[in-house]
Structure 1
Amino acid sequence: MNFNSLSKSRRFAILLILGLLSAIGPFSIDMYLPAFDTIAADFDSPIEKIQLSLTAFFVGIAIGQIIYGPLLDKFGRKKPLFIGLIIYIFASIMCAFTEDANHLIVYRFLQALGSCSGMVASRAMVRDYFDPREGAKVFSMLMLVIGISPIIAPSVGAFVLAHFDWHIIFLILTGLATLILLAVIFVLPESYKGNRGMSLYPKAILTGYWSVFKTPVFLLYAMVGGFAASGLYAYLSGSPFVLQSLHGLSESQYGIAFAMVASCLIIATQLNRVLLNRLTSEEISKKASYFQAASGVLLVIFALTGMLNLVTLLALICLFLCAQGFIFPNTSAMALAPFDRLAGSASALLGCIQMALGAGSSALVSHFHNGTQFPMVAVMCGGALISFLIYLLLPKFNNRRAQV
């Protein structure tokens, strides 16, 4: 299918659906964050255990993407999407009616397995439709939709908690996924028919993934983007406790603060589209990586010196996520640029690496929970520093990177 030959309204509809498919995972994360304290009290469980339901979601996305990648390459993009969205709908209903923390952790894992189909397929479809430079711009546009979710989702979650019950949050997610499934069925065109000759035997799948993984351009930018994103997931995991329990924000105030911080991510992704007219994706992401590392170091210094009050914390997190808005779309486009036949597997492995690192950072925040904000800011800083050091200490890749 020639994307440029479609009408303007059809192109907008396709991009909107791709954005929604990319956002269903983040929306599922952000919407229930204000309910952590409420769920913990309802289940009579420590908040650290409720945080594990978020970690389980990250693990589910990391594992699920590995499963969907070969399926997208063999059967095309839409059929695996159907399966994933149905799994998501089922798991969301089960989350809504669960009665203890252990079951919530299991159902959140299943919910993640379903949601990641949209994340993998949307990235692969961008690779199908666009060249790398245009792909970076489209990823920035998708980030606009993804970025809206941290603004809307916590506010919706806080509203639900104020007027209803936390179980309703998961019923809303069920309805949203149902609408997306209908849009995929009736509006979204197939971008790749699939390679029916592709083997799904474990050895063949592992060979394909290894071929992707050992590609220097992919490995470099997947790691840069993955470690940068791990700081974001540390913030997602730790912010309910830090902002509500330590800094005394109410559920509605937490939603407002979360929205303010997320707006920085949105603004950065849209500025990225403008900068791509003058700079390469590598130049932009490299400068943003340095900026994010500096923000992370300041977070730690301010925390250690007792200067990290609410205003300073939110300001530095805004700077941190602003850098993330430049890093994600550019590193994603560059990591996927070398692939055609294995675009689905490359998209899956890219997402798996990012989510595995995100799950690890979330688990670290939970494991080192000590009643202070230091575990969150330390893990954020660590992810940003590693991303920065990959750029700094691997000059041997300079001549092998794709200038896109």
Structure 2
Amino acid sequence: MQSPTSPAPTSEQEVDPKPNLMRSRKSIALLVLVLGVLTATGPLATDMYLPAFPQITRELGATEGQIGLTLTAIMLGLSVGQLIIGPMSDAWGRRGPLLVGVALFTVTSVLCVFVPNVTVFIALRFVQGVAGAAGAVVARAVVRDMFQGDDAVRFFSRLALVMMLAPLLAPLVGAQLLLVGPWQLSFWVLAGMSALSFVLVLLWLPESLPPESRQSQGPRQLASTVWSLVRNPRFVGPVLTLGLSFGMLFTYVSAFSFVSQNEFDVSPQTYAWLFAVNSLALMTGTQSNGLLVGRVDTRRRLLMGLVLALVAVVSLLVSALLGVSQLWVVVALLALMMLSVGFIMPNATVSALDGQPASVAGTASALMGSLQFALGGSVASLAGLTPSGEASLLSMSVVMASVAVLSLSAFVWSARSKVR
């Protein structure tokens, strides 16, 4: 493993555009662990307190819509934070901005324990999202620094296996914590996990962007870089596909707690198990995608996921419109949707980043992540725009089906642009 102070490569070594930092299975496994913990911070922060939504609503004297805004706030924070941290990582390297972000996330997690009202809670969740963006954007940039093509897809699939344990376990842990204490315990756990991430980065994550590859961008140059990216269909097409699909996923994440407990009368613990089943389907999708690498090209794997998602959510919408939805049918269709997202996310990510030079990889990753979370947070809030102000199975299904259509359309537009 190369240290951050290793000498610059010679001209012979420069034939390989990727740093020779990770070559052994042991070192790759360690990299997966460190980056997996980092990228799991976001899902942990969004999912662990979901079973407690009704309890938080009562304790803070808030409405369901206001508590839902705490989820939207962290998503918007994740969006804004990536636009800030991505360019910083291109200019100063990956480790410094990452360590600052992880430290700030730890502090805000502790402060969330002591919120006096929902307004302060929403504000802190936004700051927590800005800080948590460091893990997501820097992890993707590190992978881009070290791998490309199918190697990058394979690594993202391994990474997804680790990071997807977060949405699988987070609601289960959160629900069990409700049996032994108040909802604030979830944020103590988040603070502990973030502190662990800081130690892992400090001890075991090497600097993947050497000084000679760094690019400091002023506002004008940054705007030029962003403009060149958004004009490139090969970048913006996969990004829209990813962001809209994430909106479909996040609509489920934000609405299903209320839908399952209010419409199907399940307990917070039962909801957590149902959420875990669907998260397991997501893990299955990511690993199935990894097995197809080298057999089916990236574009076809992505198309498979998009079509499967559309079939799942349209079927969910039809069952809701006909009023024949049963809990097991809803869970099965949501699991199918989650399975499809396991194909969409790694392939759309690689499709967007693979052609970008290392000097702008952090900015490209930031822009991609920012649009992903902005679309996710905005789309998910639409499910609550009902006469009662509460998300329902029907409103959730309408939003998910609509964005699934748009996501597939973005893919088709990108594919046609690439052909031309």
TM-score by length of 1: 0.95
Aligned length, in residue pairs: 400
Q: Which residue of 2 aligns with 1:237?
A: 254
Given candidates 162, 166, 191, the residue that maps to 2:183 is 166
Given candidates 375, 380, 383, the residue that maps to 1:362 is 380
Tell me, yes or no, if structure 1 residue 375 matches structure 2 residue 392: no
Q: Distance in 1 between matches of 2:171 and 2:377?
A: 20
Contact 1:289 1:327 in 2 (8 A): yes
TM alignment of 1:302-341, pairs within 5 A? 302-340=319-357, 341=359
TM alignment of 1:125-144, pairs within 5 A? 125-144=142-161
Q: Distance in 1 between matches of 2:403 and 2:205?
A: 36
Tell me, yes or no, if structure 1 residue 113 matches structure 2 residue 133: no
Q: Distance in 2 between matches of 1:387 and 1:87?
A: 34
Q: Which amino acid aligns with 2:362?
A: G
Contact 1:126 1:135 in 2 (8 A): yes
Question: CA 1:151–1:190 in structure 2 vs 1: closer, same or farther (change >3 Å)?
Answer: same
Q: Which residue of 2 aligns with 1:81?
A: 98
Contact 1:268 1:322 in 2 (8 A): yes
Given candidates 358, 363, 366, the residue that maps to 1:348 is 366
Q: Distance in 1 between matches of 2:214 and 2:390?
A: 53
Q: Distance in 2 between matches of 1:275 and 1:388?
A: 21
Q: Distance in 1 between matches of 2:187 and 2:85?
A: 24
Q: Which residue of 1 aligns with 2:34?
A: 17
Contact 2:32 2:162 in 1 (8 A): no
Q: Distance in 2 between matches of 1:323 and 1:197?
A: 36
Q: Which amino acid aligns with 1:325?
A: G
Shift of 1:193: 2.8
Q: Which residue of 2 aligns with 1:148?
A: 165
Tell me, yes or no, if structure 1 residue 264 matches structure 2 residue 313: no
Contact 2:233 2:414 in 1 (8 A): no
Q: Which residue of 2 aligns with 1:49?
A: 66
Q: Distance in 2 between matches of 1:371 and 1:392?
A: 31
Question: CA 1:5–1:159 in structure 2 vs 1: closer, same or farther (change >3 Å)?
Answer: closer
Q: Distance in 1 between matches of 2:290 and 2:252?
A: 25
Tell me, yes or no, if structure 1 residue 192 matches structure 2 residue 217: no
Q: Distance in 2 between matches of 1:212 and 1:158?
A: 42
Q: Which residue of 2 aligns with 1:391?
A: 411
Shift of 1:213: 1.9
Shift of 1:5: 5.4
Q: Distance in 2 between matches of 1:249 and 1:120?
A: 36
Q: Distance in 2 between matches of 1:303 and 1:259?
A: 22
Given candidates 228, 241, 246, the residue that maps to 2:245 is 228
Contact 1:87 1:113 in 2 (8 A): no
Unaligned runs of 5+ in 1: none
Given candidates 250, 253, 264, the residue that maps to 2:270 is 253
Given candidates 290, 296, 318, the residue that maps to 2:313 is 296
Shift of 1:182: 0.6
Q: Distance in 2 between matches of 1:127 and 1:62?
A: 20
Q: Which amino acid aligns with 1:213?
A: V
* Structure 1 SS opposite 2:296: coil
Question: CA 1:24–1:185 in structure 2 vs 1: closer, same or farther (change >3 Å)?
Answer: same
Shift of 1:357: 0.6
Question: CA 1:388–1:371 in structure 2 vs 1: closer, same or farther (change >3 Å)?
Answer: closer
Shift of 1:332: 0.2
Unaligned runs of 5+ in 2: 3-18
Q: Which residue of 1 aligns with 2:200?
A: 183
Contact 1:272 1:326 in 2 (8 A): yes
Q: Distance in 2 between matches of 1:152 and 1:217?
A: 35
Residue identity over aligned pairs, in percent, reads 32
Shift of 1:390: 2.2
Q: Which residue of 2 aligns with 1:285?
A: 302
Q: Deviations over 1:85-123 (max 9, x none)?
A: 111011111111112111110111111111110000000
Shift of 1:199: 3.8
